[in-house]
């Protein structure tokens, strides 16, 4: 990324291959995923808080093989198939090689392709972190907005693993599709809202206000999107505002679930590295699944 702005300032160029320092791993990246946050970074909306060195390489989710190990790294060997959670530091995953701390890496099961692995990283981590923040138990009924997005899907499938009962909160025209994922679905635009849930996960900004209205007084909401200022008058529900957190142990459990068929994040479209601008445009237009970059 040569500068902040539109997708026309992306360029495919040669950079020096990075070298891993102590506690780091060099990965030969085979696939990476595009997340909505990449678009926010590219447009400069986070430049005040996360200034990127330009030119910058974006991309937070990667899968590939270990190419080199920094000193002190003992859990991995050269050639291991892995996934990695890259930070937003301008040295990201949309490249042939990338360096990350070893505690941001997990081994990719043989049952999963590189493309599947790349699609699972931040969506799988965030989906599980929203559920864990609420302390969900077997039998709990949980409303999930953004159920057809990657994070919502990951949360719903994790809730099923725990024996909880997810309900997908979607617009009325998507009820049938959402039932196929969650088993149960609710028209989240219903007014007045039905305050019948103790727990909810907010993963879709346009309906955040509606979702909170469906939670009982004293209930809990885990939100990965901005909460409207007037959505929780009198602080009648507890809101946990979450941000993605790197966690190798949780990433291991995400990959294990995916290898067992308990977690599926569909891939809607694939692009090449040279098509990174088109890939971001596809994310901006909206997709039913992840957009993945193939590096071969």
**Range list for CATH 3.90.180.10 in the chain:** 7-108+266-294
Q: Per-residue pLDDT averaged across 127-146, rounded? A: 96
Q: Per-residue pLDDT averaged across 8-21, rounded? A: 95
Q: Determine the CATH number of domain 7-108+266-294.
A: 3.90.180.10
Q: Tokens at residue 186, please?
A: 């609710």
Q: Is the pLDDT of residue 195 over 90?
A: no
> Which pLDDT score is estimated for 131?
97
**Range list for CATH 3.40.50.720 in the chain:** 123-241
Q: What angle do CA 225, 94, 52 make, to 5 degrees?
A: 65
pLDDT grade for 188, boundaries at 50, 70 and 90: very high
What mean pLDDT, rounded, does the chain reach?
94
Q: Is the pLDDT of residue 158 over 90?
A: yes
CA distance 276 to 1: 10
Q: Is the pLDDT of residue 233 over 90?
A: no
pLDDT grade for 34, boundaries at 50, 70 and 90: very high
Q: Per-residue pLDDT averaged across 51-55, rounded? A: 93
- Span 250-276, pLDDT tens digits: 999 999 999 999 999 999 999 999 999
> Which pLDDT score is estimated for 192?
81
Q: Tokens at residue 60, please?
A: 């937070």
Q: Is the pLDDT of residue 193 over 90?
A: no
- Span 109-126, pLDDT tens digits: 999 999 999 999 999 999
Hey, which residues does 141 pair with through a beta bridge?
165
DSSP letter at 57 equals: B
Percent of the chain with pLDDT over 70: 100
- CB neighbour burial string for 126-137, b if at least 16 within 10 angstroms, e if fewer: bbbbbbebbebe
Q: Could you please report the per-residue DSSP string of 8-50?
A: GG------PPP---TTEEEEEEEEEEE-HHHHHHHHTTTTTTS
Q: Is the pLDDT of residue 98 over 90?
A: yes
DSSP letter at 102 equals: G
Backbone angles phi, psi at 197, to 5 degrees: -115, 140
Q: Which CATH superfamily is domain 123-241 in?
A: NAD(P)-binding Rossmann-like Domain (3.40.50.720)
pLDDT grade for 156, boundaries at 50, 70 and 90: very high
Percent of the chain with pLDDT over 90: 88
Q: Per-residue pLDDT averaged across 16-21, rounded? A: 96
Q: Is the pLDDT of residue 100 over 90?
A: yes
Q: Look up the pTM and report it.
A: 0.93
Q: Per-residue pLDDT averaged across 227-232, rounded? A: 87
């Amino acid at each position: 990324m040569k500068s902040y702005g539109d997708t026309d300032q992306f360029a495919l160029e040669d950079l020096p291959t990075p070298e891993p320092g102590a506690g780091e791993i060099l990965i030969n990246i085979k696939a990476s995923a595009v997340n909505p946050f990449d678009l926010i970074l590219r447009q400069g909306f986070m430049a005040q808080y996360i200034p990127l060195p330009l030119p910058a390489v974006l991309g937070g989710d990667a899968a590939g093989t270990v190419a080199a190990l920094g000193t002190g790294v003992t859990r991995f060997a050269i050639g291991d198939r892995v996934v990695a959670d890259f930070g937003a530091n301008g040295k990201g995953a949309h490249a042939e090689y990338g360096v990350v701390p070893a505690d941001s890496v997990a081994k990719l099961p043989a049952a999963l392709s590189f493309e599947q692995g790349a699609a699972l990283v931040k969506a799988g981590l965030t989906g599980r972190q929203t559920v864990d923040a609420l302390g969900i138990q077997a039998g709990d009924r949980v409303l999930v907005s953004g159920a057809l997005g990657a994070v919502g899907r990951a949360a719903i499938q994790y809730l099923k693993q725990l024996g909880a009962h997810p309900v997908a909160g979607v617009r009325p025209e998507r009820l049938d599709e959402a039932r196929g994922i969650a088993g149960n679905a609710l028209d989240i635009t219903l007014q007045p809202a039905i305050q019948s849930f103790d727990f909810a996960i907010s993963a879709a900004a346009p309906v955040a206000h509606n979702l909170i209205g469906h939670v009982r007084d004293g209930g809990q909401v885990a939100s990965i999107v901005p909460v409207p200022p007037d959505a929780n008058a009198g602080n009648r529900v507890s809101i946990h505002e979450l941000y993605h957190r790197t966690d190798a142990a949780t990433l291991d459990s995400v990959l294990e679930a995916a290898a067992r068929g308990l977690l599926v994040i569909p891939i809607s479209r694939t692009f090449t590295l040279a098509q990174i601008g088109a890939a971001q445009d596809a994310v901006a237009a909206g997709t039913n699944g992840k957009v993945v970059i193939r590096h071969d």
